[in-house]
Amino acid sequence: MTSQELAQTFTALCKNGEFEAAGRTYWSDDIVSREPMPGDMAEIRGRKDVEGKGVWWYANHEIHSTKVEGPYVHGDQFLVRFTMDVTPKGGQRMNMDEVGLYTVKDGKIAEESFFFGSSS
């Protein structure tokens, strides 16, 4: 599977709402996940902890709708844009607009790095 094919399949799963399946299928065991914020979320390493981040996120956000655009491909990297209408637990309903930058190595996603839009 080329990086282009992985990008297409990963993004198709996300467009179908299967975000967790997309991660489980394509993250490498050594996946590094980066968020543009200080603290514990800034960098998480390893499949188990990154899956834990997902479990936490889904338990603490009510998702009203999502829009997934992409992939945008360059060599072994690709981008996917996520626009979400969500309510964080106990918080205000908000629009999230972010882009994931994924780096493929040996047929798996070795790194994911999220970029936040101004409206996030």
Query: Does residue 8 belong to the site contacting a copy of itself (CB under 8 A)?
Result: yes
Rounded to whole angstroms, how far apart are CA atoms 41 and 21?
A: 21
Letters for 11-30 (x = contact with a copy of itself by CB under 8 A, - = none) are --------------------
Rounded to whole angstroms, how far apart are CA atoms 118 and 120?
A: 6
Query: Does residue 57 belong to the site contacting a copy of itself (CB under 8 A)?
Result: no
Residue with tokens 């047929």: 107
Candidate residues 81, 84, 86, 111; the one interacting with a copy of itself per rule CB under 8 A: 81
Angle between helices 47-60 and 19-26 (to 10 degrees): 180
Residues binding a copy of itself (CB under 8 A): 8, 34, 36, 69-75, 77-79, 81, 97-99, 101, 113-118
